[in-house]
Structures are given as structure tokens and as C-alpha cells.
Amino acid sequence: MRRSGRRGVVGPAVRGQRGAETLELVAGLPLLGIVVTALLQGAALVEEHARAAADARELVRHRVVCDHRDAPPAVVAGDPALRSARVTFTRAADPAGGTLVTATVVLAPRILLPGLPAGPESPLAARAAATMREEPC
């Protein structure tokens, strides 16, 4: 009887501390949100890089094959993101013979954290290049 009575009584000091802990928790929640968003942002950037590499590979493979050379990039790679991407092809003559073709893809980053630079000029943009030798037609 005595014990239960003591348990039920909460002093002002303990109450104050509990309030402070609640405040700390509430203040910590946005921080947790930012950390989780940053992790998701990292995952999105990695995915963009993987996509850019796959697109560059696919594009250069088509560009070096005689029959597919004139296909438009977005159709070739089957990736709608390529429509807003910067795609460049460079051809360089190999001194030992043949021509090397390099496809470079720059995809605009998906921005989840506000304030980060967007667009293909952003330092976070996914850049990938792939080089293959042109087939003799």
C-alpha cells in the first residue's frame, strides 16, 4: 500500500526532467528526418550513376554497329530519362587503324534534399562514358 502510494507520486524535479527529455526527442526528430533523407538522396544518386553507365554502354553498342547507327538515343536505350539528359558521341581515329567511338551520358540528378543543385550542370549529375571500336561496314 505504501509502495504503490510512493510510485504514484511524481516530484517536480522528475517531471521537469521528463519534459526536457521529451523536448530533446522532439528536437531530434527533424535531425533524424534529415539523416534518412540524406541516405535516400545518396541511394538516388547511386542509382542515377548506374543508369547513366548502362545507358552509355547501350548507346555506344548501338552506335558502333552499322545497322543501328542512326537510331535516336532515347529509343535505343529504352530509358525515358535520356530525353532530358545530355548525350554526346565522339569519334577518334585510332593510329593503329579503325575508329573509336565514345558515348558520354550526363543525367540530371534527382534531388530529394532541398537546396542541392539540380540540372545536368550540377556537380551531382551522373556522368558515364563508354568506348567501343566502330565496326567496318
Partner 1 sequence: MLSRRRHLRGRGASSLLLLGASWLVLAGGLGAGEVVAVTAADARSEQAAAAAAHAAAAELAADPGAGALSVELQAARTACHLPEETAAPAACAPARVAAQRVARANGAGVVDFLLGPDPRDRGPEPAPGRIVAVVTVEVERGLPLLRRLCARHRPGAALCVARATAAARWG
- Site residues for partner 1 per CB under 8 A: 17, 35, 42, 46, 49-50, 53-54, 57, 60-61, 64, 94, 96-98, 100, 102, 130-136
Residue closer to partner 1 by CB (options 50, 83) is: 50
Residue closer to partner 1 by CB (options 53, 111) is: 53
Q: Nearest approach, Cβ of 134 to partner 1 (angstroms)? A: 7
Residue closer to partner 1 by CB (options 56, 82) is: 56
Residues pairing with 89 in the sheet:
103
Q: Nearest approach, Cβ of 87 to partner 1 (angstroms)? A: 17
* d(C-alpha 107, C-alpha 38), whole Å: 19
* d(C-alpha 64, C-alpha 136), whole Å: 9
Residue closer to partner 1 by CB (options 16, 83) is: 16
User: Which grid cell sits at 11?
Assistant: 516530484
Query: Can you say whether the dihedral through the CA atoms of 18, 24, 30, 35 is positive or negative?
Result: negative
Q: Nearest approach, Cβ of 25 to partner 1 (angstroms)? A: 11
Using a CB cutoff of 8 Å and minimum separation of 24, what contacts does 2-8 make? none
